[in-house]
Chains A and B, each alone.
Chain A
Amino acid sequence: MLTILFDGIAYGLLLFILAVGLSITLGLMNFINLAHGAFAMAGGYITVVMVNRLGLSFFWSLPAAFIITAALGAFLERTLYVRLYDKSHLDQVLFSLGLIFMSVAAVDYFMGANQQIVNLPPSLDGRLQLFGASIGYYRLFVIILCSLLTIALQLVLTKTRFGSQLRASVDDQRVARGLGIDVSRIFALTFAMGSGLAGLGGALATPFFNIDPTFPLKYMIYFLIVIAVGGTTTIIGPFFSALLLGVADIAGKYYVPAIGGFIIYTIMVAVLIFRPQGLFGRVTSR
């Protein structure tokens, strides 16, 4: 019981780190970026290459995954995404689907279609017995790291100048622009940060899921659920919805495996029916 709760929390926090970038870009630019998972996959494969092929430490691969995917995100934002902000949602969906297909095929080409397994460093392998629950060291590591990241993110958003500019832009882009905030620069930075976090999340997720090229498609729906349930106006909403989703998914698959797959989809559809703005979202007049 406690073990499941613990695994669920680890999974939920991971989902939050993976999806938070999507939440912010969606809230800020009203841009539907289905290809967000592709950045997570990039992070995962950076880990695979660094640990398995180059023999570097897993701990080094985490910051590398963050920096490289953030750079990749910034590059794609400036060259491609920036052209699509004023296009229709259909165009954005098609464009990001196209990016997904390309990334899936490209990874398949360079890394092969089979699942990649990353071996954990010995210091993170093993389990700990606590209050009758069996807790994997790696899960504990994920929980601590993701919690620290979440706190850091929240501090950046609420306490720094950049954070207030970002929140102002999310609330009302036009007024923010009118006040002299360089919204497109803010957005490029945020996009890079969101991509980097997705990459880091992908790197952290690899020992859990054993990454393969279909990752962006498989997990796309999970990211969307986090956003749908959590809303896009804060990061607290996605945080709780990711935790909820993580625990519900793990518990559902464990206790009622026959219908485990339905639970999360049903939750999503139910939330969308009764609270289209998300469980934690505010009703905006836009």
Chain B
Amino acid sequence: MTSVIADTPIASAGPGAHLVARARWRWPEVLLWLFAIALIWIAPSRYLLFNEIAILALLALSIDLVLGYAGIVTLGQGAFFGLGAYTAGLMAKHGMGTFPWSDPVLGLIGAALVAGFIGFLSSFLVLRGSDLTRLMVTLGVALIVQELGNKLEWITGGADGLQGVLPAPILGLFDFDIYGRNAYLYSLCTLFVLFVIARALVNSPFGLSLRAIKGNVTRARAIGIPVERRLVVIYTVGAAYAGIAGALLAQTTQFVSLDVLSFERSADALLILVFGGVGTLYGALIGAIAFKAMYDVLASATPEYWGFWLGLALVLLVLFARGGIMGLLRALQERFARPRAERT
């Protein structure tokens, strides 16, 4: 991370130049996104899988903002995912498939607002205490929301799930087709827009102040960073992101079950992020791809023992490969980049 400053000559141009340099797009990033679009033609039969990957990636991205940049260990991101899913689902259901309320984009905004609001409220609980306290508070909030979803049957449909979620065509133009192509494109576009925003956010002075907090709270406070306010903001943003991910799931699968609130989903998303690499943003995307690919191979044989392989991968990851996939890639890149730098 520090090598970026040393390698780029414009680092000496001014205090903001370092951030500008980091915010520049690099060709592997562009390639990755082009590849995501090209998948429409490469593998037309697997839209549903790609759609799922995009949604999981967005959820993992929301955790990366909270955990990777602000250092808040959370096990409860599923609560916001579920809130978003129910918000969008209910809007689509009661809007009867007509423009204002059933519009998917409005549904996303509604989901972001609801999840963000609840995230804002619960962020004050998260501010307090140690990692363990945060872990339990996030888990506790998630369990309360899950219990609410179960008990408020007249709103959520309870254990039967919310049925009759029929979103209107996207922006009144593109209908959700049965193959899921538009659904995938819709999720991908949403993911891209939110990714660009997140990328700008973490490469801004705001993002740097978050890293300072993650690094050392006392020091961050001493240099005048309003720690509480920063954490509230990023936790709220993370919750809104997770809400949008949930909304995407509700709209593209046209069904919401209690499953969206489950602990397993929060845990899975956390694992995806760790697989991919924490604090890199791209870790969320690559982790989601790797996770689903692994799932496809291992769980298709014996779905009930998938948990074993997942657990094993986690244990090995913690013991031996701390940076996740992004960490490995970075290590490779450094190995190849060094000789070239010496030659020039």
Interface residues of A (CB under 8 A from B): 26, 32, 80, 83-84, 87, 89-91, 93-95, 97-106, 108-109, 113, 217, 221, 224-225, 228, 258-259, 261-262, 265-266, 268-269, 272-273, 276
Contact = CB atoms under 8 A, between A and B. Distances in A.
A276 B133 CA distance: 7
B319 interface: yes
B31 interface: no
A98 B305 CA distance: 13
A106 B315 CA distance: 15
Given A269-B141, A276-B128, A97 B314 contact: yes
Interface string B301-317: 00011111111111101
Contact of A101 (B128, B274, B310): B310
A109 B308 contact: yes
B315 A269 contact: no
Nearest to A224: B136
Given A101-B310, A101-B311, A105-B304, A89 B140 contact: no
A272 B133 contact: yes
Contacts of B54: none
A217 B274 contact: no
Contacts of A106: 308
B131 A89 contact: yes
B311 A98 contact: yes
Interface in B114-152: 125, 128-133, 135-137, 139-141, 143-144, 147-148, 150-151
Interface of B: 67, 73, 75, 125, 128-133, 135-137, 139-141, 143-144, 147-148, 150-151, 263, 267, 270-271, 274, 278, 304-315, 317-319, 322
29 contacts: A26-B132, A32-B131, A89-B73, A89-B130, A89-B131, A90-B67, A90-B278, A91-B318, A91-B322, A93-B75, A94-B317, A94-B318, A95-B314, A97-B267, A97-B271, A98-B313, A99-B311, A102-B311, A105-B306, A105-B309, A106-B308, A221-B139, A265-B143, A269-B144, A272-B129, A272-B133, A272-B140, A273-B125, A276-B133
6 interchain residue pairs of minimum CB distance: A98-B314, A101-B311, A105-B308, A102-B311, A89-B131, A276-B129
B334 to A, nearest CB: 23
A69 B99 CA distance: 60
Contact of A265 (B147, B150, B267): B147
A268 B142 CA distance: 13
Nearest to B316: A98
Contacts of B322: 91
B314 A101 contact: yes
Given A100-B311, A105-B306, A228-B136, A262 B128 contact: no
B307 A105 contact: yes
Contacts of A90: 67, 73, 131, 278
Contacts of A109: 305, 308
A269 B313 CA distance: 32
A261 B315 CA distance: 32
Given A105-B307, A108-B305, A99 B315 contact: yes
A272 B308 contact: no
Contact of A104 (B75, B130, B307): B307
Given A98-B318, A102-B307, A228-B133, A273 B128 contact: yes
A99 B307 CA distance: 10
A113 B128 contact: no
B73 A93 contact: yes
Contacts of B270: 94, 97
A258 B147 CA distance: 10
Contact of B132 (A89, A105, A221, A266): A89
Contacts of A102: 307-308, 311-312, 315
A98 B125 contact: no
Contacts of A32: 131-132, 135
Contacts of A258: 151
Given A89-B131, A98-B315, A265-B143, A272 B310 contact: no
